[in-house]
Amino acid sequence: MTVVACPTCGKKVEWTPANKYRPFCSERCKQIDLGAWAEEKYTIPGATPNEAQDDPLSDEK
């Protein structure tokens, strides 16, 4: 049996088909995570691309 930590609260959760909230431990933790995504609290750090990279026609002469 695989056991994982709930991404929201850290509680140990069995990863089984019987656990309909996996990888979360409960509906509450699942909703908290969804709310965080909706509020854009999760981001991937990175550099802002240059405008020239965004415009594929800028290299044409």
Q: Which residues make up each annotated binding site for Zn(2+)?
A: 6, 9, 25, 29
Q: Write out the binding residues.
A: 6, 9, 25, 29
The DSSP-derived string for 29-42 is HHHHHHHHHHTT--
Q: From the CB of residue 14, how many other CB atoms can be counted at a distance below 10 Å?
A: 12
DSSP 50: P
